[in-house]
Amino acid sequence: MSHRVNLNSILPVEVLTTIIVDRIVDDRSFTSPPSHVKHSYLADVALSISHVCRLWRTIALGPSGKRLWTHAPSRHTAACVEAFMQRSHPLPVFLRIEAVFPRGQKPTSSSLPALQMALRHSARVNTMTVEFDIGNGGGDFDEEVFNYGVTEKYLKMVNLLDHHSFPALEYMSWTTWINIDQHTFSPNFFKMEIPASMKRLFLQNTEFNSSLAVLRAPLTSLVLHQCGSWSGIDDFITTLRNMPFLETLAISSEGYSALDSSDIPSQHHHRSVQLCHLTRLALHDTLQVVPLLFTCMQAPKTCRVDLRLQMYPIHFDVDRYWDHWGILESALREHFESTAFTRLTVSGAGKDDDRFSLCALSPTIPALNIGFNSHYQEFNRLNMRLLRTLCNLLSLPCLSQPCTILVRNIDLFSARLHDRNDNFTPPSFATVREIIVTRSAVDNFVHALLRNLDRPLLPALQSIGLRETLFCGTNLHVIEPILTSLIGAVVAREHLGAVQSVKTIDFSQCRLTETAVDLLAEAVPNVEVFWDERCLSPNQLADLRHRSEPEHEGIMGDIIEEAQLPY
């Protein structure tokens, strides 16, 4: 026989209040974007709580329940909004302006009369989110008429904001996925009063410039995703000079460049913006733009830096390719000065050599991420341009002295790169004591161990890790030539006075048998051989290609996810 427990009778009112008020209001799902899978609507929950029983209604409508009513119910009627504002008075208010029409899901939309009522209390609004997203929501009716209606509603709602001030505003996010090119802010927006309490701003798919009044607020976080913004480098500098307290700055263009990149940086621009409080900097834009932005900033060495550069052949002047990289390399050299990262991860896309990413770690400063995607394989392969670019970065003082390097699926040790007759000299990785190599990088790495004996590669190497590689064929009794080459390289290095002898070899997630491991151990008795006792199939090895390590991905994704939530 089941027994119902009456929490009202056994819990003190204070504990019950914490459960049905504070725990609920603090749930982040109530402030997540309407398009988010975990989105919830606090106004409906508050109304439900107030109708559970007399005690819960007393709590909800009493002084301790005021927080339940702080989210203006803009989907409801104007009278409902006014009731919420009275019940929550004088607490700060969360205002959401929305029209979201996802395909296959229930649309959500603010009511114009409800919004007008909520804006009467604009002085109490400390959090505001705007999201208009028609997605693929045209449905089975006239999509052109539908899009026009949503756009017209959007313009009416945002125009209301021009006539109100928000002196208590601390956070604002603004997202517009509707069928206008990009939303351009009204010049009157925030013209009445720039909120002195404003700290965090997230803009997505919008267009603006340095004249936008809210950019003169004392922001600590500015996150721009797919925004068209500054007309040039001077406009960018003007904006940042109004933000001396910035702790997070993220610009992610993904097709919309954040800056007119026709400018060439001058000494006037060089490190002209001091951002003394910056702890996170993420710049994802074109090869023309990222160096321009980064070279203008002077941030602390303790700032976490994430740079991702895109090159689109249609819009790119190939003759200036090395000029843009030269600007970035100079800025990196000056930013990190005498700092040296101790662990590097270099990743690629195997035979699809159109990109690379680099993650540098140190026990004393935050990580550095640099990524490049050219979308232009022929250009990359000509004169080995992509790999030469990567090698130039790895020759910078801050990146040229690692103790450990992980080379993931990129041909960093290609013979064509290291046997060139021009003045290009790839890094020798003279300080590396441990290397971990995966997939397509393994073959050339093994052969590179005995290349150029007058200037040997990895002279201090003592530990080798091999991952996600096929050392045995379909017939497990057949050993691939690469394993034989590895044995030869390790044995030969034992007799070279200019290099360290290899002390350990570790195999993990490879196609390898115990017989092959025993053969290696017998051939190099002075080397400790470790094996995870796994013999993966070719299909299992292929599946590992889609795996990624969080540290290699940079911080842009986390910053954008955080920026969409007020708390």
> pLDDT tens, 394-424?
999 999 999 999 999 898 988 877 665 667 7
Average pLDDT over residues 303-328: 87
Average pLDDT over residues 3-29: 74
**Which residues in the chain are classed under CATH 3.80.10?**
341-367+401-535
Alpha helices in 349-431 (DSSP H): 377-381, 385-394, 415-418
Q: What percent of the chain has pLDDT over 90?
A: 42
Longest C-alpha distance within the chain, in Å?
Answer: 88
The pLDDT of residue 5 is 55
| Distance between CA atoms of residues 46 and 67, nearest Å | 9
pTM score above 0.95: no
- Mean pLDDT value across the chain: 85
The pLDDT of residue 137 is 47
| Distance between CA atoms of residues 346 and 371, nearest Å | 10
DSSP annotation string for 4-64 = ---HHHHS-HHHHHIIIIIHHHT-GGGTS-TTSTT---HHHHHHHHTTT-HHHHHHHHSGG
Say which amino acid occupies 39: H
Instruction: Answer with the residue of higher pLDDT: 529 or 211.
Output: 529
Chain segment 237-253, per-residue pLDDT in tens: 888 888 999 999 999 98
Read off the pLDDT band of 147 (50, 70, 90).
low
Instruction: Answer with the residue of higher pLDDT: 105 or 224.
Output: 224
Query: CB neighbours of 509 closer than 8 A, spacing ≥ 6?
Result: 467, 468, 532, 534, 536, 541, 544
Please check the confidence at residue 330 and state whether its pLDDT lies above 70: yes
Read off the pLDDT band of 498 (50, 70, 90).
confident
Chain segment 443-477, per-residue pLDDT in tens: 989 988 887 766 788 999 999 999 998 888 767 76
By the 8 A CB rule, do 418 and 457 touch?
yes
Please tell me which of 140-144, 193-197, 328-332, 436-440 the model is most confident about, judged by mean pLDDT.
328-332
Please check the confidence at residue 178 and state whether its pLDDT lies above 70: no
Architecture per CATH, 341-367+401-535: Alpha-Beta Horseshoe (3.80)
| Distance between CA atoms of residues 107 and 226, nearest Å | 24
Read off the pLDDT band of 262 (50, 70, 90).
low
Question: Among 427, 436, 442, 488, which residue's Cα sits nearest to residue 462?
Answer: 436
The pLDDT of residue 138 is 46
Please check the confidence at residue 529 and state whether its pLDDT lies above 60: yes
DSSP state of 67: G
**Cis status, amide bond into 90, omega within 30 of 0:** yes
Chain segment 332-366, per-residue pLDDT in tens: 999 998 889 999 999 987 666 778 999 999 999 99
Question: Among 440, 514, 525, which residue's Cα sits nearest to residue 472?
Answer: 514
Q: What percent of the chain has pLDDT over 70?
A: 85
Q: Is 9 exposed, middle or buried (0-12, 13-18, 19+ CB in 10 A)?
A: exposed
DSSP state of 500: P
Average pLDDT over residues 174-199: 78
